[in-house]
Amino acid sequence: MQLEYFSLPLALGQIMQQKEHPRVTLAQSIKQHLRMLITTSFGEFSADENFGSAIWDYDFDNGTSVHKVKEAIRQSLLQSISQNEKRLVNTKVDLNIFQEEVRFGKGQNLKKRINVFIAGTILLTNEPFTFRDSFFAGPLSY
């Protein structure tokens, strides 16, 4: 049995018109789910208070050392992935956090950039899996 996975965001207009919704591969579906896990704060999803990550807990934190923040977010992501993304096994998470100047309009701001790298194995196919993304913190943005 071939499983089908829908692309995000859901195209509700197409569904209401009884048209085909775009599909994605298993790996793309996992990547979409990981992005949702990373960008959701704990408690934001009322059906599951444990869905999300600790990135939001450190969004405006300038007092905690970068090493402690990095390790707290890394552990949070590992736990959240193991609880919420059962299609991945042997998961490893690596983070880099650094300051970067970002242009907004005519000005420049110094923001924290968080680079996320997740590796593992897709349980169903035993294929290697990698995911890379980066976010700006304070406030969190892509």
130: domain CATH number?
3.10.450.40
Least confident of 65-79, 99-113, 115-129: 99-113
Q: What is the pLDDT of residue 12?
A: 72
Is 21 domain-assigned? Answer: yes
∠ CA(121), CA(122), CA(123), 5° rounding? Answer: 105
Q: What is the biggest distance separating any 2 CA atoms in the chain, rounded to whole angstroms?
A: 54
CA pair distance 18, 32, nearest whole angstrom: 24
Q: How confident is the model at residue 91 (pLDDT cuts 50, 70, 90)?
A: very high
Q: How confident is the model at residue 120 (pLDDT cuts 50, 70, 90)?
A: very high
Does pLDDT of 139 surpass 60? Answer: no
Contact 24, 7 (CB under 8 A): yes
**Count of domains observed in the chain:** 1
Q: How confident is the model at residue 82 (pLDDT cuts 50, 70, 90)?
A: very high
Is 142 domain-assigned? Answer: no
Give me the mean pLDDT over the 22-51 stretch. Answer: 89
Going along the chain, which residue ranges are E strands? 5-6, 23-24, 88-104, 107-122, 127-137
Give the domain range for residue 25: 5-137
Where helices occur in the chain by DSSP H, the ranges are 12-16, 26-39, 66-84
